[in-house]
Amino acid sequence: MRSLKNLKITKSIESKRLIYNESILDKIDRYTNYLIFGALIYFSIVGLYKITPSANSDFEYIIYSIVLVFVLYSSYCLFTEKRLKEISFNIHKEEAKRRILEYGKKYHYRISNISNNLIYLNEPINSFSFLDEERTIIIFCKDQSVLYTVIKSGMRINAPVLFSQHIIRKDIRKILHQEKFTLTRKKSYFDRFFNDPS
């Protein structure tokens, strides 16, 4: 599991980037990810160049292109996972923290490391693997904004968070910009795609 040892809160807020003492295992994990994604990019590009034009080559181009776009996006997520994204608001800082904590409690996040400027919202990932994986939303509170990032921890490899980070950004923005703060039923990923009205 990834461990954020000695997370430097003030420096992270100032640089808008997670700054902490990275363990040897975390460094090995990060470079392993770089190696895997680099190899996938290389083989995707080589595969595109090696396609011989024929009646059926369009399908091969489509497959290799989809793989290449997905791997490039995953690589981008990996390289930017330590970068903190900012959401500004017009309410009091303590009210923003209260809303975030209520959001975490309502949707059964495991809330940890609450300090004056830092909140962790942890949730297990329902994946098809038997590995113990967890997604963590790290939120730094400033006077008129929050800085946040989403990281994923696994037993063997810490793959980047791909799509849920956009849904989490939308949720945080919504709760911080509501005039009258109310929480509704949290939609699953499938609800969002199929426009469930509830």
Strands (E), the chain: 85-88, 110-112, 118-124, 134-141, 145-153
* pLDDT score for 86: 93
**pLDDT at residue 85 is higher than 90:** yes
Residue 45 confidence (pLDDT) above 70: yes
Contact 147, 86 (CB under 8 A): yes
Q: Model pTM greater than 0.95?
A: no
Q: How confident is the model at residue 186, as a pLDDT? A: 57
Distance CA 166, CA 155 (A): 24
Q: Indicate if the pLDDT at residue 198 is higher than 50.
A: no
pLDDT digits over 168-189, tens only? 899 999 998 887 776 665 555 4
